A and B are shown apart, each in its own frame.
Chain A
Amino acid sequence: MRNDNTNTDNPIPAPNQRAINADELLLRTPRRRAFITGSEAVAEAVKRANIDMSIAYPITPQSESMHLIGDLYAQGYVRDYYRAENEFAVMAAIHGAALGGGRVFTATSGPGTLRAMEMFPVWAGSRQPIVCAFMCRGVALPPSIQPENIEMAFLLDTGMLMFHAENAQDFFDMILAAYAIAEQPEVHLPVGVFADGFFVTHTREVVMLPPDDVKLHAYSPDIAPIQPFDMDHPPVRQTRDPLMNKSNFTSYAASASWHQEILAAAERARKHIDRFMGGLTEVSEPNAEIMIIASGTAASQSREAIRSMKKDGITVGMIKVKSVRPFPTKEIIAATEKAKLIVVPEFNAGGWLAREVKASLNNNNRVIAGPRVFGGMALPSEVIAGEIKIFLNQNL
């Protein structure tokens, strides 16, 4: 394991931080109040994550976070940092750094995510615990830099774990938790931590932060489920030989078993998500007959809708989906047992969360796949409440 206080790739001396375990950093260390943007929350998480390498390429609305991580490099908190040629180059190079046994971080947005798409299943297929923040925005459907999270739909089956932050606090906590979860030997998968761009990245809010003189212990590739590509860990020759590339049943079966292992690793993450994130979901009013299922900032808007409906004497519960992969199927089944109506508001045109919810439930005619907004439109709480009132008027 690398010495926690060395800074071999950075000429700036590492600041004096005490390495502690993830339970202590995330769950037990007293926190102080800060008023920061989501981008700044990302940098605060990286500051405490003991990162070996971070690689940047600018794209709105992600640019500020990687700019701030460049500042962390200049202060000695990150051991190596550079700007790559484009997003594909970033994701390929960060993969190389992870294969070599380093702890890495990067971030991107919208079209950058799509440009780098080929690398995400490669990360998962090679079992690398890479953490990447995605500040979601529109893609060319039509061209838009505005908030929406359709890019999450494209990533659902890449093998990555996917966490969706509602706010800057979530963003901070989920990035640090992502390392704790991803680096478990039986998990060891990449994690995408998603936040709705601009709403989370570019607005200030209260975030409770642990002190910045503590950080996670250094990553140790010694306990990885797959050998790092160095000359210190056997079998080193694997790095020079191809994997399975023969055209016969045996090779296909081996490839299938390898693929199953990626999916199995995501399942194994569940208990660690419970431990470090308090569960895959947060549920309020689990016995309510009307439930909202939402993730990201749609959860915040839903909270406002729930508050306004309560004033009218209507009780509405909510399931906030924190982990999209693995998906909280059992949790949603349990929390919607008494629901007669399930509303799924989203910030995208495709309705990927509604599809996931419908696929999880037996009697899914209870699910209203909306309201949905996109192209940068806001999602007023009145629109969510209106959807519920239409149902109530029709069924009274």
Chain B
Amino acid sequence: MAEQRYKLTVGPEGYLAPAAAIMGVVSPDAGYALSGGDIVPEDEALSLIAEKLAKAQNPAVCPGPLLLWHWSDSVPQKAAAVRAMAEACKAKLLPMPDYRAKSPRINPDIEINPNHPSLTIEHNNIDVCLFVGMHLHFANMALRLIRGATNCYTIALSDTAAIDEAILSVRDVDVGKIESVTERIKKIKN
């Protein structure tokens, strides 16, 4: 019997969603991206991201610490590009300011946390979320929890390698790629 490839789909996947890499999803090389666990050309993924965000009922863009703190000269321009992308698709901005677990709980109206991200997704009825500016470890950890517990479609933009727990993920994301998604959203909306 031929081996069936694991597909990343909208959840809820269950009690403990398996890690995509353990199920055989391979990180793409430069110029490629991940869609549902398959390696696809990067441009195709950028179009899919725009389509998902533009057609979402209640999308959210979740910027992480790497985008919220001015720790490098490239951050302000990138943060502005992400805000413009969120505005183009009328997405909520639900930041992940840090990674620590908060007690007794976070305020899901205004933030998302990697230790219990589904609280924010469910509280705000988010159907498509986009993670950007997070360290890869925490993005993967949180996206797996979202896939396990919610029916939210997940997207991740990464400064470095692809974030393989997202259904759609693009690597080496710079301002140009973010602006390209924004332009494609505007075209779909118009």
Chain A residues within CB distance 8 Å of chain B: 127, 184-186, 188, 222-227, 232-235, 237-238, 241-246, 250-251, 253-254, 256-258, 260-261, 263-265, 267-268, 271
Contacts and interface: CB of A to CB of B under 8 A. Distances in A.
Contacts of B21: 264-265, 267-268
B12 interface: no
A273 to B, nearest CB: 13
B162 interface: yes
Top 6 nearest A-B pairs by Cβ distance? Answer: A235-B98, A234-B69, A225-B136, A264-B21, A186-B161, A264-B19
Contacts, number: 110
Contacts of A235: 65, 69, 97-100
B145 interface: yes
Given A225-B137, A241-B100, A264-B140, A254 B161 contact: no
B19 A261 contact: yes
Nearest to B29: A271
Given A186-B162, A258-B141, A264-B140, A238 B71 contact: no
Given A234-B65, A271-B27, A127 B115 contact: no
A227 B101 contact: no
Residue from A222, A223, A233, A261 having most chain B Cβ neighbours under 10 A? A261
B160 interface: yes
B101 A244 contact: yes
A102 B160 CA distance: 19
Contact of A185 (B26, B114, B136): B136
A157 to B, nearest CB: 14
Interface residue tally on B, bucketed by range: 35 or more
Given A238-B99, A253-B116, 5 more contacts: A227-B135, A237-B100, A257-B144, A260-B22, A260-B141
Nearest to B71: A234
B22 A233 contact: no
Contacts of B16: 253, 256, 260
Contact of A268 (B27, B68, B99, B115): B27
B20 interface: yes
A222 B20 CA distance: 25
Contact of B100 (A224, A243, A257, A264): A243
A234 B26 CA distance: 28
B138 A226 contact: yes
Contacts of A226: 135-138
Interface in B15-73: 16, 18-22, 26-27, 65-66, 68-69, 71-72
B159 interface: yes
A251 B113 CA distance: 12
9 contacts: A234-B71, A234-B98, A237-B100, A241-B100, A250-B119, A254-B115, A260-B19, A268-B21, A268-B164
Contacts of B68: 234
A264 B25 CA distance: 10
Contacts of A233: 71
A233 B133 CA distance: 12
Contacts of A268: 21, 26-27, 161, 164
A234 B66 contact: yes
Residue of B71, B97, B103, B145 ringed by the most chain A CB atoms within 10 A: B71
Max chain B Cβ within 10 angstroms of own Cβ: one of A237, A244, A257, A268: A257
A296 B169 CA distance: 39
B19 A263 contact: yes
A274 to B, nearest CB: 11
Given A185-B160, A235-B97, A254 B65 contact: no
A184 B148 CA distance: 27
Contacts of A224: 135
With most chain B CB atoms within 10 A of its CB, the pick from A241, A242, A253 is A253
A253 B119 CA distance: 13
A264 B161 CA distance: 14
Contact of A186 (B22, B65, B69, B164): B164
A260 B144 contact: yes
Contacts of B115: 244, 250-251, 254
A234 B75 CA distance: 12
A186 B21 CA distance: 10
Nearest to B161: A186
B146 to A, nearest CB: 10
Nearest to A241: B100
A227 B65 contact: yes
A65 B22 CA distance: 36
B65 A223 contact: no
Contacts of B135: 224-227
A246 B105 CA distance: 11
Which of B72, B98, B164 has the largest count of A CB atoms less than 10 A from its CB?
B98
Given A186-B161, A234-B68, A254 B99 contact: no
B62 to A, nearest CB: 14
B65 A243 contact: no
Given A223-B159, A232-B71, A254 B22 contact: no
B145 A253 contact: yes
